[in-house]
Amino acid sequence: MIQEVADHVVDHWHEPDQGIWEMRGEPRHHVYSKAMAWVALDRALRLLGPHPHWETARDDILQAIVTQGIDPRGGSLMQAFDHDELDAALLLIPLLDIPIDKAVLAQTVTAVEKRLRDSDVVHRYLTPDGLPGSEGAFLICSFWLVDALLTFGQAEEARTLFERLLAKANDVGLYAEEIDPERGLFLGNYPQAFTHLALINSAILLQLYEDGSTTALAGTHADRARRAAASMVPDGGNALWRDSAAPDEDTGAYQAILDLRSVS
């Protein structure tokens, strides 16, 4: 199954798409989509071993991102190739362990915050998307900003933003999909599971940062999951990583599986 997924990525990564937000406009070469195609191949290689076609495609994807996905004026990643708008999904890229220049990633966080942040909340994008009307800020994106700030050592700002976002929950501690930045009213789907999952993830990353600074946030999602389990579960959380029927099995496969799950 993993091989079929990787082969599919090799065959189709170069095609335009509607992006993570399923925009109704013309398909574009969304940078976040390309980044996740890179992740799919990178994790498949970690799990299944060397594969020349996957390695070549992975390298080609990275080259496409750094040559076509960076704004030549501002130095940040763009929402899509040849399209200098910004997208809050770019806040996730620093946590994917992609070998993109750290200065570019840091500038991307700065640019997204400047362009899409409205008080304590973050819009997913401000690009026309083929739908009429306007929308509120997306709470999941607001927690993504917490994570991105932590990644670059802005812990005090990240903690402050996290606490302010916690205060926006309703009287039973739930969140909607969106929020009106001016009035603080919930909009969209309610309750929204993605918002709550983002909150939990930010809380875990804040604890990891407190335990080990930016070093504890390095690597893949699986790396951070391992560190979180080690700090929160007795005996280092070994039960989460090893099959009791195969205690000598390399845990690298488990790390790769978690990262593939994060892609889906």
Listed in sequence order, the residues at least 6 apart from 150 whose beta carbon sits closer than 8 Å to its beta carbon are 158, 205, 206, 209, 214, 217
pLDDT digits (tens, 9 = 90+) for 147-204: 999 999 999 999 999 999 999 999 899 999 999 988 888 988 899 999 999 999 999 9
Q: Where are the domains of the chain?
A: 1-230
Strands, DSSP E only, in the chain? 117-118, 121-122, 137-138, 178-179, 186-187
Average pLDDT, the chain: 88
Q: Is 143 exposed, middle or buried (0-12, 13-18, 19+ CB in 10 A)?
A: buried
Given 3.40.50.1820, 3.30.70.3040, 3.30.2400.10, 1.50.10.10, which CATH number is that of 1-230?
1.50.10.10
pLDDT of 237:
47
Q: What is the pTM of this model?
A: 0.85
8 Å CB contact between 35 and 93: yes
Provide the percentage of residues in the chain whose pLDDT is more than 70.
Answer: 88
pLDDT digits (tens, 9 = 90+) for 62-90: 999 999 999 999 999 999 998 889 999 99
pLDDT of 135:
86
pLDDT of 194:
93
pLDDT at 123 over 60: yes
Residue reference for tokens 């690009």:
127
Band (pLDDT 50/70/90 cuts) for residue 250 is low
End-to-end CA separation in angstroms for the chain: 13
